[in-house]
Chain A
Amino acid sequence: MSVAEQTTGAGTQGSTFGSLQMRQVSRWYGKTAALTDLDLELAHGEFVALLGPSGCGKSTALACLAGLQPLTTGSIWRDGKRIDSLPADKRGFGMVFQSYALFPHLTVARNVEFGLSMRKVPRAERRRRAQAALDLVQLADHAGKLPSQLSGGQQQRVAIARALAIDPEIVLMDEPLSNLDAALRIEMRTEIKRLYQERELSVLYVTHDQEEALSLATRLVVLRGGRLEQSGTPEQVYTQPASAYVAGFMGYRNMISARVEQVESDPRRVCVVAGDLWLQGTADPAAGLRAGSEVMVAIRPEDIVPGRAGVNDVPALAEVVEYHGRELAVRARTERGVVLHFRTEKPVAAGARVTLGAPEERVLVFPAEGRAEVPDDAHG
C-alpha cells in the first residue's frame, strides 16, 4: 500500500490535510451534556491521545468529528472550511469503533474491502489492499470467516484493518487495543506507531491506558465531564498536570488531602501539612493558595525515595510489598496513618521501618476540589 493512493478521502479534495478543528462544540443528549464548549485540534502529522475516565465524552467527541452525531452548538473545520454539515461518508476519515461495528453479514475480507469498494477501487486492487491490511493485523488466515466466528480481540483487529485499508489521512480510533492481550497490545501499539510514521497519518486516539497514551501520542488531551481539562505534550501533562484530576490520571498515585501551612516568598513554594506529614511542595502561583487553604498533594510513587535525607523526610512502616520484577511497589503508612506508595529497587520487607522523602519540585500541590474524583482505573 502506498501513501499516495489518490482514491483516499472519498469526496474530499485531493490536497493533503492541514488541520482539523472542533470549535466550541457542545453535544447534548436530551437534558444531559456529553460535551461542553470543547475546542480540539488535530494538526497534520499529529498523534493526539484523548484521555479521560469512562463517560467523559471521548466517544461522543469522535462521533461528532466523524459526522455521526449532530452538534448541538459549535462547528468543525478542516483546513479553514467548515465541514459540520458534511455527511460522514464524505469526510473520508478512517475510524475504529469502540464497539467494533463490523458488518455481521460480510466476511472479514469483505469487511476490510468495504471502504475500498465504496471508493470504486477495482477488484484486484481491492483484494490486494485488503490482504495487506489483514497481514498487518496478523489475520490473513481468517479472511474468509464471519465476524461472529472471531474472538473479541480478532474482531478488534479487523476493525483496525478496515479503518486503515482505505488509506485515510485522518484516523479516529476509539480504544482500539482495549481487548487485546498484553503482548499483542504492545505489538499492535508499535505497529500503529510505525504506520503513523510511515504514512504520515494524523491520528486521534482514545485510550484509558496512560502508558499507551504516553508512548504513542505527540500530544495529550484530557477531558473531564465533556470539557477540556488539559492539553499538552506528553511530557508537559506528565510532569506538570494542570489539576489534581489530571494528576490522578497520570499516575500520581499518592493523592493526599492536606492544608497549607505557609506560602514562601516565592509563591511557587508552599509548605503543607497532612497528619504527621510536613511537606515542601510546588504549586501554581495562579492557584492563589494561602495559609489554611485545603489542598490536594500529588506525588508519583517513582518520586518518593526511601532513605533520602532531605526536606521532606518522614518515617513510615512498610505494609504491603508487591514484586514487580525489576522493582518493588511498596505501600507504607506513617505513624499518624498517612498512606504512601513508593517504588524501590532495594529489598524491603513488609513490616520494615523506612524513611521516605521526595524532592520538593516533585511534590505537586493543587487546590482541593469539592470531592477529589480521581479515576481509579487511571493508574498504569
Chain B
Amino acid sequence: MTTADIAAGPPPRTRRERPTLTAVITWVAAGCFVAVILGVLASVVVQSFATTWRGGWWPAGLTATWYGRAWSSTGMSQALANTAQAGVAVVVIALLAGVPAGYLLARRAFPGRSVVMLLMLLPIILPPMTYAVQLAALMYRVGLGGSMTAVVLVNLVPTLPLVVLIMVPFVEQISPEVENAARVFGANNLRLFSRVLVPLLLPGMLAAGILVLVRTLGAFELTFFVSAADTQTLVVALFGAISDPGGVPGPLTAAMAVTYMLVAVLGLAVSLRFVTPSQAIRQRHR
C-alpha cells in the first residue's frame, strides 16, 4: 500500500443505510397514527376553548370561560377531589402491600410461589370487565357500594399486582451480595431495610407509584360500576357527560377532558423519566 492508493480511493463517505421500502411504509403508517392521535387530542383542546363548534375546520369563536364553568359546576370539582383522593390512597396502599411482596417473590423460593405469581398476573391480564360487575355486586352486598372506600378498594385489584410485578425485576437486579455485605458489616433487619434496600429500591418504587397513579386516573370500568354520583372520578364523570349529549354542552365536557389530560400527561412524563415503559410491561407477561 502506498499513499497513492489512498488518494485513488473513493472519497470518504459516512455509511448511511438506504431506507428500505419496509422502513418507508413503517414510518408513513406511524406518521398517520401519530397524526390521528394528535388530531384527536388537539380537537378536544380546541373544543374546550370554543364558544360553539358544530363542525368545520375551526370554531366560530374562542373563549376560556368553559374552564371557569367546569370548575364551578359541583360535579367537576367533586370529581377532581375524588380522583386525587382515590389516587393517593391507592398508590400508598398498593406500595405498602406490593413492595414487600415483590421483594419476597424476587428473593425467595417458597412453596406456593408460582401460585402467588399467577395470582398477581391474572388481575393484570384479565380485563377489568371480567370482574368489575361481580366486584361491584360484592361491594353493594357488604354495604360499601357507592362509597369512596369501595372506589379505592376496587382500584387496588389491577394496581397492586402491577407494583409487585415491577418490583420483582428491580429487586432481582440488586445483587443479594449487597444485602449479605450489609449484614456482614452489622446491619440488622431494620437497618438493612432503611439504609440499603429502600435507597436501592427507591427508583422502582417511584416508577411503580407513578404508573399506579396514572392507571388509577384512567381506570374507568372498575370505578364506573362501584361509584355513586358523589364519589365518581374524573373519567367516570367524563363518560357520563359524553354519553348524555343533551345534558352538558360539548365544550364544558372538553374542558373537563383537558383538565384530566393535563393531570394524566404530567404523570406519564414523570414516569417516563424513571422507567422505560417496556420494562414495566415486559415483566407483566413473562
Which residues of A in the span 10-61 have a Cβ within 8 Å of any Cβ on B? 19, 21, 23, 41
Docked-complex contact B1 and A80, CB < 8 angstroms: yes
Docked-complex contact A75 and B9, CB < 8 angstroms: yes
Q: Is B13 an interface residue (CB 8 A)?
A: yes
Distance between Cα atoms of A23 and B5 in the complex (Å) = 12
Q: Is A77 an interface residue (CB 8 A)?
A: yes
Q: Is B23 an interface residue (CB 8 A)?
A: no
Docked-complex contact A77 and B5, CB < 8 angstroms: yes
Residues of B within 8 A of A82 (CB): 9-10
Docked-complex contact B6 and A23, CB < 8 angstroms: yes
Closest to B2 in A: A80
Q: Is B282 an interface residue (CB 8 A)?
A: no
Docked-complex contact A85 and B1, CB < 8 angstroms: no
Docked-complex contact A84 and B1, CB < 8 angstroms: no
Residues of B within 8 A of A73 (CB): 12
| A-B pairs with beta carbons under 8 A, tally | 22
Size band of the interface chain A makes with B: 10 to 19
Chain B 3-32, CB-CB to A under 8 Å as 1, else 0, gives 001100110111100000000000000000
Which residues of A in the span 64-84 have a Cβ within 8 Å of any Cβ on B? 70-71, 73-75, 77, 80, 82, 84
Count of chain B residues near A, Cβ 8 A: 9
Residues of A within 8 A of B15 (CB): 70-71, 84-85
Docked-complex contact A77 and B9, CB < 8 angstroms: yes
Residues of A within 8 A of B6 (CB): 23, 75
Residues of B within 8 A of A80 (CB): 1, 5
Shortest CB-to-CB span from A257 to chain B, Å, is 35
Chain A 73-105, CB-CB to B under 8 Å as 1, else 0, gives 111010010101100000000000000000000
Residues of A within 8 A of B9 (CB): 75, 77, 82
Docked-complex contact A75 and B14, CB < 8 angstroms: no
Docked-complex contact B14 and A77, CB < 8 angstroms: no
Residues of A within 8 A of B10 (CB): 82
Known A23-B6, A77-B1; further 19 A-B contacts with Cβ < 8 A: A19-B1, A21-B1, A41-B1, A70-B14, A70-B15, A71-B15, A73-B12, A74-B12, A75-B9, A75-B12, A77-B5, A77-B9, A80-B1, A80-B5, A82-B9, A82-B10, A84-B15, A85-B13, A85-B15
The 10 A-B pairs at the shortest CB distance, nearest first, are namely: A70-B15, A82-B9, A85-B15, A80-B5, A82-B10, A21-B1, A75-B12, A75-B9, A23-B6, A85-B13
User: Can you list 22 A-B contacts with CB-CB less than 8 angstroms, sorted by A residue number?
Assistant: A19-B1, A21-B1, A23-B6, A41-B1, A70-B14, A70-B15, A71-B15, A73-B12, A74-B12, A75-B6, A75-B9, A75-B12, A77-B1, A77-B5, A77-B9, A80-B1, A80-B5, A82-B9, A82-B10, A84-B15, A85-B13, A85-B15
Residues of A within 8 A of B (CB): 19, 21, 23, 41, 70-71, 73-75, 77, 80, 82, 84-85
